[in-house]
């Protein structure tokens, strides 16, 4: 994942004594993290992958059933909802989030008190999803703050959380929570662009749009790519906020609010009367993960190709 330039510089050192010495510590330095990660993360993952080809309730022994779980997923309305919602998060939320973050980042660079502002918009990221969900509900529900506010202007009330809109409320919250984080990452890429590029471009008589199009965008493309990969992979895991926000009293959210992680939880141990279908849940996770890997590969292709155009 490191950029190619580093690789070139390193290549020069490949045969040097330093490189050889470094290779000697390669094993010992890597081993603790690698072993722990393998035993407690990858082994369970592979086991779950195996479970996706079985019928497994989680406590008795799995029974092999081939690709039947995958076949059944196609007819499973909850999986369709979960998959579609995950894609909505990935693309809908993602595009909105990145446009907003990019715009904020560019404007912030020209504003006074930029560090201060950046500090504030990062804030939601440090709070637990459970706490944010409690606040978000208090803000948007029918007797909530927003409607109270509208009322004092003689408007409303609006049913912000009606079933058709509820998932959008979740999407909005997720944009809100993540904007600060991605502004910070994107800021990184743009801050590294040497200022003289802009100076020269200005001398050449370019306008600000041209400078954006031909300097800022291509030169920060790499970091946009990294951030997009982080986001794509991360969407599969969004869980706590949705459970806390849309679930109530030990009950799961209705299936039209489900995302990939929620599907796995709801199909197995979640809710007041669990379903214990680990086989199908694992199959669902595998399908989603494959879709995400495809998106990641495409993203990396796109971002690296555009970089070459420079």
Neighbouring-strand partners of residue 64? 54
310 in contact with other proteins (CB under 8 A): no
Q: Would the CA dihedral through 214, 96, 101, 147 be positive or negative?
A: positive
39 in contact with other proteins (CB under 8 A): yes
198 in contact with other proteins (CB under 8 A): yes
Q: Considering only CA atoms, which of 220, 230, 229 is closest in space to residue 192?
A: 220
Question: Residue from 25, 66, 309, 310 that binds other proteins (CB under 8 A)?
Answer: 25
294 in contact with other proteins (CB under 8 A): no
171: tokens are: 């999407």
Smallest separation, CB 91 to other proteins (Å): 16
Question: Residue from 84, 160, 167, 218 that binds other proteins (CB under 8 A)?
Answer: 160
Binding mask 261-280 for other proteins (x = CB under 8 A): x--xxx-xxxxxxxxxxxxx
Question: Residue from 15, 66, 154, 250 that binds other proteins (CB under 8 A)?
Answer: 250
Q: Is 222 helix (H, G, I), strand (E, B) or coil?
A: helix
Tell me the C-alpha distance between 217 and 221, whole Å. Answer: 6
Neighbouring-strand partners of residue 54? 64
Q: Which is nearer to other proteins, 92 or 157 (CB)?
A: 157
Smallest separation, CB 28 to other proteins (Å): 8
Which residues are CB-neighbours of 225 under 8 A, at least 6 positions away?
Answer: 299, 300, 302, 303, 304
Question: Residue from 154, 164, 308, 309 that binds other proteins (CB under 8 A)?
Answer: 164
How many residues in the shown chain lie near other proteins by CB under 8 A?
173
Q: Which is nearer to other proteins, 36 or 155 (CB)?
A: 36
Range 118-157, binding other proteins (CB under 8 A): 118-131, 134-135, 138, 140-143, 145, 148-149, 157
Q: Considering only CA atoms, which of 212, 181, 210 is closest in space to residue 119?
A: 181
Which residues are CB-neighbours of 189 under 8 A, at least 6 positions away?
Answer: 219, 220, 221, 222, 223, 224
Smallest separation, CB 224 to other proteins (Å): 10
Is 170:163 a contact under the CB 8 Å cutoff?
A: no
Smallest separation, CB 249 to other proteins (Å): 6
Smallest separation, CB 213 to other proteins (Å): 10
248 in contact with other proteins (CB under 8 A): yes
Tell me the C-alpha distance between 74 and 83, whole Å. Answer: 11
Q: Considering only CA atoms, which of 243, 295, 280, 293 is closest in space to residue 79?
A: 280
Q: Which is nearer to other proteins, 48 or 85 (CB)?
A: 48
Range 200-219, binding other proteins (CB under 8 A): 202, 205, 207-212, 215-216
67 in contact with other proteins (CB under 8 A): no
DSSP state, 161? Answer: T
91 in contact with other proteins (CB under 8 A): no
Q: Considering only CA atoms, which of 310, 101, 90, 92 is closest in space to residue 188?
A: 101
């Amino acid at each position: 994942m490191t950029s190619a330039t580093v690789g070139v510089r390193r290549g020069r050192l490949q045969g040097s004594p330093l490189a050889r010495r470094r290779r000697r510590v390669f094993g010992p330095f890597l081993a603790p993290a690698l072993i722990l990660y393998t035993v407690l993360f990858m082994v369970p993952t592979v086991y779950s992958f195996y479970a996706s080809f079985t019928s497994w309730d989680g406590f008795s022994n799995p029974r092999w059933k081939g690709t039947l779980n995958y076949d059944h997923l196609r007819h499973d309305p909850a999986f369709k909802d979960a998959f579609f919602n995950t894609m909505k998060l990935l693309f809908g939320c993602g595009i909105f989030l990145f446009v907003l973050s990019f715009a904020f980042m560019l404007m912030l660079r020209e504003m006074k008190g930029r560090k201060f502002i950046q500090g504030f918009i990062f804030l939601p990221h440090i709070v637990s999803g459970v706490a944010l969900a409690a606040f978000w509900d208090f803000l948007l529900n029918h007797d909530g703050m927003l409607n109270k506010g509208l009322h004092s202007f003689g408007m409303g009330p609006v049913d912000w959380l009606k079933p058709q809109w509820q998932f959008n409320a979740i999407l909005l919250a997720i944009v809100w929570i993540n904007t600060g984080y991605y502004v910070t990452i994107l800021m990184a890429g743009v801050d590294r662009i040497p200022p003289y590029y802009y100076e020269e471009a200005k001398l050449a008589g370019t306008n600000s749009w041209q400078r954006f199009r031909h300097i800022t965008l291509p030169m920060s493309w790499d970091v946009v790519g990294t951030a997009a990969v982080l986001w794509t992979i991360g969407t599969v895991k969004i869980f706590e906020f949705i459970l806390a926000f849309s679930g109530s009293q030990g009950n799961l959210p209705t299936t039209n609010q489900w995302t990939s992680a929620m599907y796995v939880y709801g199909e197995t141990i979640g809710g007041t009367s669990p379903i214990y279908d680990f086989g199908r849940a694992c199959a669902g996770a595998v399908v989603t993960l494959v879709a995400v890997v495809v998106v990641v590969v495409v993203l990396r292709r796109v971002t690296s190709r555009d970089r070459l155009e420079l």
